[in-house]
């Protein structure tokens, strides 16, 4: 699945003041990780955001927002915001700020090292 490169560029701009941002190809689109946690991304022409699950229900009332049901079942704390809901820079910034705040509230994720298996000689 291709994703909207212009939206990805707009998200990069919205994340300029955020530290520790990494981009990864995920879900057939592009995800933006903040402090090792997925914050937001682009899937097709929609913005995907990760928000506080306790606030997700009330955020669904906002313009052009729907549950992220990538797997056929809604994912807890993840929402899609379709193009009409992020047409203005201010509205995109609001959503990116919510997503990055959610990621920044979590402890920094550190990469797990793969365990090395030591074998005794002769086994």
- In angstroms, the CA 20 to CA 82 distance is 26
First to last CA, the chain: 47
CB atoms within 10 A of CB 45: 14
User: How would you classify residue 47: left for phi > 0, otherwise alpha for psi between -120 and 50, otherwise beta?
Assistant: beta
Confidence of residue 114 (pLDDT cuts 50, 70, 90): low
Which is it for the CA torsion 54, 57, 61, 65, positive or negative?
A: positive
Q: How many CB atoms lie within 10 A of CB 14?
A: 22
Taking only the tens place, the pLDDT of each residue in 29-40 is: 999 999 999 999
CATH code linked to domain 5-104: 3.90.1150.30
Give the start-to-end residue ranges of the domains of the chain.
Answer: 5-104
49/101 Cα distance (integer angstroms): 11
Report if pTM > 0.75: yes
Report the alpha-carbon distance of residue 68 to residue 77 in Å, rounded. 9
Give just the sign of the alpha carbon dihedral 97, 99, 105, 110.
negative
Tens-digit pLDDT profile for residues 6-54: 999 999 999 999 989 999 998 789 999 999 999 999 999 999 999 999 9
Give the residue, 87 or 117, on which the prediction is more confident: 87
Residue 70 confidence (pLDDT): 73
- Give residue 108's pLDDT band: very low, low, confident or very high (50, 70, 90): confident
**pLDDT confidence of residue 111:** 67
């Amino acid at each position: 699945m291709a994703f909207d490169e212009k939206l990805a560029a707009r998200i990069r701009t919205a994340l300029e003041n955020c530290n520790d941002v990494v981009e990864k190809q995920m879900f057939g689109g592009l995800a933006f990780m903040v402090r090792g946690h997925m914050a937001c991304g682009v899937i097709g022409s929609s913005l995907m955001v990760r928000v506080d699950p306790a606030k997700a229900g009330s955020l669904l009332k906002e313009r052009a927002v729907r549950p992220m049901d990538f797997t056929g079942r809604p994912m807890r704390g993840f929402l899609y915001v379709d193009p009409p809901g992020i047409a203005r820079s201010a509205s995109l910034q609001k959503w990116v700020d919510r997503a990055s705040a959610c990621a920044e509230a979590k402890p920094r994720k550190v990469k797990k090292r793969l365990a090395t298996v030591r074998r005794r000689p002769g086994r």
